[in-house]
Chains A and B, each alone.
Chain A
Amino acid sequence: MNRALLLCLTMLWTLPATAYELSPEEVAPGVWVFEGRQEHFTRENQGDIANTGFIVTGAGVIVIDTGPSARYGRAMHAAIRDVTREPVIAVYITHAHPDHFLGNQAFPEVPIVALPATIEAIKRDGDALTDNLYRMVGAAMEGTDPVVPGHEAIPNRYKVGDRELKFIAAAGHSGKVASDLMILDRTAGVLFAGDVVFHDRAPTTPHADVSAWIAQLDALSELDFRVLVPGHGPVARNHDPIEQTRTYLRWLDAHLREAADAGVHIVEFMNQPLPDRFAALAVAREEYKRSVAHLYPPLEQARLQPLERP
């Protein structure tokens, strides 16, 4: 649909956008995080629901994810300038979900880098994802267009300024192929895990391959770092969010498989209460329902066997 029309329609029932209040927190020397709210997209939160961040390397700033809108990206860029005189030299996009890359327009002079699968997904779905966010977030999206990252990330170790960085291609949250970029600052001991790790907030699964994701989390528990920046939820100083994410996904996977084996129809268990240990996660009920919608139909179909012709 025409985006100006969408915006016009959404403005009929919203107030004009207010400024994003972005204040970064320094989680390790030179490593800063903008913590998003643990909510779903709403007009009130203006889409600010994911964590973004940046690293001041001594040779320039690298930005990790750009948030849900052009305005967010610009607010982020301004907040970075308040912290350091070093210019932004590169933007890394962890994955192709709209709360993570729609601020790209705020960094027009800078290479924007992502894994090949992420670049493909933004090329293919960028417009649809953007339209969808206009519908949900409204006025804050004004002027936002998807910008496809122009550079492919190559997983490896790099020396950037005074930092040793490791780029890791992870699988699971965004699909079976490695399409989640994680950045480990080995110098500061900080892992930007993207949406591979959630903390105190139920994981989202619209493109997930749950088995690949669990395997990825297994591998991650071996990784050495002191500070963990999840894609959503508070920054942690331990590995606990990895275990939390893995426990939830394992439960979800087993629960769905069991229901599919028993021939339960999707709407018959979508509304059942969650176990207590997960009900405390932010947006657990909504995310659970959405996960059932994403993950259950293929399991149901896989339970059916070809019928012979009579």
Chain B
Amino acid sequence: MPQRLRLLLPLLGLLICTTALAQDDPLRSPGWNIMVDRFFRDATVIHDERVQVSAPPGAENSHSVPGLVRVEGIEDIQRLLVFADLNPIPRILELTPTTALPTVGFQFKVQQATPLRAAVQTADGTWYVGGTWVDAAGGGCSAPSIASANPDWQDRLGEMAGRQWQQQDGAQRIQFSVIHPMDTGLAPGIPEFHLEEIQVYREDGTLLASLEIESSMAENPRLLLELPGEGTLRIHGRDNNGNRFAGVLR
């Protein structure tokens, strides 16, 4: 029984903190104020349902949980930040849309139940935030997969694949993937090793979108973006060890 009490006390503490801190957070997350401190210090932050974040409520594979962010009706977006409050590495990606639409699809790792959030900053500095909870526990028959530790990744590092779809609304949807282990550096003996940035250009060199990426993103990242117009694209990437990758998406 004393052992059980010892477990209970921190939980109670957490509950009390949660109710005190999370009042202005529609998701009532115990990590919200830390996120405000980290990402939005001194800025105006508005919770806004036009920032739509979709993810499955439970993670079938906690090493790769899909998420999709869409923003409708907010103009003049400068940055789009995606993060998970209660992840050891909360920041997942940051999209500078340039001319791309404020839409991004991705997969990320979860360790415990956490909000997944997106925040967009407009030119006046205001952040608009939306989000949803994701539970780390999935169904019963899914053994938490061991991060695949695919032995041939070294030969295939940086290999890119992709495809584009012309949508009815005129936007060009692209999905592309990069072979990369995306090691967080949190596992003992495995240094941090992950994709750090990606740029998407038109064939003539016009920059359409750039992304900063953290190791909280799943292994072999696969990203979805939506771009104005149509045509061939060039995608460039770089990891934190300085490896550079590039591919042409026709």
Instruction: Point out residues on A near B: beta carbons under 8 Å.
Output: 5, 8-9, 11-12, 40-41, 47, 97-99, 124-125, 128-129, 132-133, 135-136, 204, 206-207, 262-263, 265-268, 270-271, 286, 289-290, 293-294, 297, 300-301, 303-310
Main secondary structure of the interface of B (DSSP, over half): strand
Main secondary structure of the interface of A (DSSP, over half): helix
- Are the CB atoms of B144 and A206 closer together than 8 Å? no
- Are the CB atoms of A307 and B173 closer together than 8 Å? no
- Are the CB atoms of B248 and A310 closer together than 8 Å? yes
Q: Which of B53-93 contact A (CB under 8 A)?
A: 54-56, 60-61, 64, 66-68
- Are the CB atoms of A304 and B7 closer together than 8 Å? no
- Are the CB atoms of A12 and B139 closer together than 8 Å? no
Q: Which residues of A contact B249 (CB under 8 A)?
A: 307
User: How far, in whole Å, are A294 and B56 apart by their CA atoms in the complex?
Assistant: 12
User: How far, in whole Å, are A263 and B105 apart by their CA atoms in the complex?
Assistant: 11
- Are the CB atoms of A266 and B66 closer together than 8 Å? yes
User: How far, in whole Å, are A140 and B90 apart by their CA atoms in the complex?
Assistant: 35
Closest 8 A/B residue pairs (Cβ): A307-B247, A263-B165, A293-B60, A125-B143, A304-B161, A267-B54, A128-B143, A307-B160
What's the nearest-Cβ distance from chain B to residue A125, in Å?
4
Known: A12-B4, A268-B68. A301 touches B137 (CB 8 A): no
User: How far, in whole Å, are A164 and B181 apart by their CA atoms in the complex?
Assistant: 52
**30 pairs, CB–CB < 8 Å, chain A vs chain B:** A12-B11, A98-B141, A128-B144, A132-B137, A136-B140, A204-B141, A263-B163, A263-B164, A265-B224, A266-B66, A266-B68, A267-B54, A267-B55, A267-B105, A268-B54, A270-B56, A271-B54, A286-B139, A290-B139, A294-B142, A297-B64, A297-B107, A301-B161, A304-B161, A304-B222, A306-B161, A307-B176, A309-B247, A310-B246, A310-B247
Q: Which residues of A contact B11 (CB under 8 A)?
A: 12
Apart from the given pairs A129-B141, A267-B56, A304-B163, 17 other A-B contacts in the complex at a CB distance below 8 Å: A9-B7, A11-B4, A12-B4, A128-B143, A132-B137, A132-B140, A206-B60, A263-B173, A293-B138, A294-B142, A297-B64, A303-B163, A304-B222, A306-B160, A307-B249, A308-B247, A308-B248
Interface size classification for chain B: 35 or more
What's the nearest-Cβ distance from chain B to residue A211, in Å?
20
Which of the listed residues A11, A289, A304, A305 has the most CB atoms from chain B within 10 Å of its own CB? A304
Is B16 close to A, CB under 8 A? no
- Kindly identify which residue among B7, B143, B234 contacts A8, using a CB–CB cutoff of 8 Å: B7
Which of the listed residues B4, B66, B177 has the most CB atoms from chain A within 10 Å of its own CB? B66
Instruction: Point out residues on B near A: beta carbons under 8 Å.
Output: 3-4, 7-8, 11, 54-56, 60-61, 64, 66-68, 105, 107, 137-144, 159-165, 173, 175-177, 222, 224, 234-235, 246-249
Q: Which residues of A contact B61 (CB under 8 A)?
A: 293
- Kindly identify which residue among B7, B222, B234 contacts A300, using a CB–CB cutoff of 8 Å: B222
- Are the CB atoms of A265 and B66 closer together than 8 Å? yes
